[in-house]
Structure 1
Amino acid sequence: MDLDMAQVRAFVRAAEELHFGRAAGTLAISQQALSKRIARLESLLGTELFQRGGSGVGLTEAGERFLTPARQTLAAADAAVAAAVGRKDRPLRVDVWGHLYAPMRTLAQVAGRDGEFVMGHGRDLSSVAAALLHGDIDAAFGRVHPPLHTGLAHRLVRLEPVDAVLSADHPLAAEPALRPDQLSDSVLWAPSALDRLDFLRQFADRFGIRNTATGVNLGLIHFLEDVVGDPRLFSLLPADMPLPHIPGLRAVPLVNPTPLYAWSLLWRIGNGHAGLDRLTAACAAQARQSRWLEYDPAHDWLPEPPVAGPPPR
């Protein structure tokens, strides 16, 4: 049985989006064309891959079984094409993701040392993971947290302390440093629902932050102006992140323990772009020079224990 890669790609995109219209848009084809490709694939395999109904689209058991090897097949096909046409010389496509934290600050210290990069900006981990699996980008940079797709690998790059940011009118604003649990009676202000912000959610759970609130993410300045405007609020930002000049804004170090935010590189297993090795080596060199990976469990807190991870190849 010979598989048509266009049909397999249509299936994988539809399985990831669970919406034929969105999947068709990512492939720059019509929804009708995508539906025909999937129907032909189902006919070839002799089984339905999707459940179609008024409540939406879902995978059948056969579709669930087919998805992982289908992704692996596409990755192998893309690697074969790249090897044949010599696409390894193209720039490395690197994406970043995050809400208020700024991974570009960290990546800027290593990017450009070796090789050429094309930068992008993902919305969140799931969208970046999908882009990696699709082959739209080569690597990504941000905080990795489980569950992570089995077709992806990651390597820890940096552990960064975070500060509490709060209004000068907050009852704890004058403290030289704070234990995280001292904030338990304050309100954790987040730029999105906590089920999308794994680090803040786990921080709140670990240190007994009972009250949380969210707003629309209109950028860092707007977010911090909201913090300044309400003395009940606080949030977390990387300790060495330059803050905009906003009157009444305070940043207070957190100690005993110090929360650490973990930055990682993420890539699709099997991507042989030489720039991945160069970027990983540059990150490792900067981590040694700047002592980015220091972690003392007696004094620091991480949602998950640090794992260095494998090199790209």
Structure 2
Amino acid sequence: MDLDVAQVRAFVRTAEELHFGRAAGTLAISQQALSKRIARLEALLGTPLLLRGGTGVRLTEAGRRFLGPARRTVAAADAAVAAVSGADRPLHVDTWGHLYAPMRTLARVAGRAGELVSGHGRDLPSVAKALLNGDVDAAFGRVHPPLPAGLAHRLIRLEPVDAVLSADHPLAAEPALRPDRLSGGVLWAPGPLDRLDFLHRFAVRFGVRHTATSVNLGLGHFLAEVAREPDRFSLMPADVPLPRVPGLRSVPLTDPTPLYAWSLLWRSGDEHPGLKGLVTACAEEGGRSRWLEYDPARDWLPEPPASGPEPV
């Protein structure tokens, strides 16, 4: 049985969007053409893959079993084409967690990793979707479970986190703080905590009972909101250059020191020649700059690092 990659790609996009119109739009084809491709694939396989109805599109049991191998088939086809025609194509790298300035780290290795083209995804789920769709080659940000099947990642950097708070906060004059001393304050977040895994886990771990959210209009606006009220605080990686905001203080956190984990994420089986160069450059810079130092007796991570990084 020979599979038509265009038909398999049509199924994968529809399974991910669960909407024929949106899936067709991402493939730049009509909805009718998309439906025909999937119907031909289902006829070839001899079983329905998708259920269409008034409640939307759902995967059948066969469709759920087929989705993982189908994604790998599409990725392998894309890699085969790239091996012939796209060896010199720039590596497209998406980033997320923009308030924490992920490009600071990539800028340290960009000159040694070949030509990079950067993008700006909204969050981990949207970036993961772009990777699985083949829209980008790699991504950089904080990886946390659940991670969709078909993706691999490698820990690149562990960055100490400071507390940022109003100069009128009762703890603003302290030279350093234990995280649990912030439990009585209001954790100010640039969005809903269910989408900000690190801040959510920090609040749970250190007993922060009061949280409030803001609209993410950039780092300067966010920090000005923190500085405005004496009971507010938030968290920022220590290496982020802070804008000059009147009435703002940055205080190191110790005993334990929270660490923000930056990882490189890519689609399993991706053979883009620039990916290995980027991973190698990150590993070399990490060794020089001691990016991966972690002592469980001294530091806190929501997810302690695994025994070893996944190879590329």
TM-score by length of structure 1 reads 0.95
Equivalent-residue separation in structure 1 for 2:55 and 2:170 (angstroms)? 49
Residues 1-313 of structure 1 correspond to what in structure 2 (within 5 A)?
1-85=1-85, 87-307=86-306, 308-312=308-312
Task: Indicate if the aligned counterparts of 1:204 and 1:210 stay in contact, CA closer than 8 A.
Answer: yes
Report the secondary structure of 1:43's partner residue.
helix
- Offset at residue 208 of structure 1 (A): 0.8
- Offset at residue 20 of structure 1 (A): 2.1
Report the secondary structure of 2:99's partner residue.
coil
- Offset at residue 13 of structure 1 (A): 0.9
- Offset at residue 246 of structure 1 (A): 0.8
Report the secondary structure of 2:264's partner residue.
strand
Equivalent-residue separation in structure 2 for 1:58 and 1:212 (angstroms)? 37
- Offset at residue 242 of structure 1 (A): 0.6
- Offset at residue 138 of structure 1 (A): 1.4
Paired AA for residue 249 in structure 1: L
Task: Indicate if the aligned counterparts of 2:76 and 2:270 stay in contact, CA closer than 8 A.
Answer: no
* C-alpha distance after superposition, 1:150-173 (max 9, x if no partner): 311111110000111111121211
- Offset at residue 37 of structure 1 (A): 2.1
- Offset at residue 63 of structure 1 (A): 1.1
Equivalent-residue separation in structure 2 for 1:21 and 1:246 (angstroms)? 46
Equivalent-residue separation in structure 2 for 1:35 and 1:233 (angstroms)? 52
Paired AA for residue 227 in structure 1: V
Where does structure 1 lack aligned partners over 5 or more consecutive residues? none
Paired AA for residue 223 in structure 1: F
Paired AA for residue 79 in structure 1: A
Worse overlay, 115-124 or 157-166: 115-124
TM-score by length of structure 2 reads 0.95
- Offset at residue 205 of structure 1 (A): 0.9
Equivalent-residue separation in structure 2 for 1:129 and 1:184 (angstroms)? 33
Report the secondary structure of 1:172's partner residue.
coil
- Offset at residue 129 of structure 1 (A): 1.4
Report the secondary structure of 1:293's partner residue.
coil
Task: Indicate if the aligned counterparts of 1:177 and 1:252 stay in contact, CA closer than 8 A.
Answer: yes
Where does structure 2 lack aligned partners over 5 or more consecutive residues? none
Task: Indicate if the aligned counterparts of 1:167 and 1:229 stay in contact, CA closer than 8 A.
Answer: yes
Equivalent-residue separation in structure 2 for 1:180 and 1:299 (angstroms)? 12
* C-alpha distance after superposition, 1:284-309 (max 9, x if no partner): 11111111110010110000111341
Note the aligned Cα RMSD (angstroms).
Answer: 1.5
* Identity across matched positions, percent: 76
Paired AA for residue 275 in structure 1: G
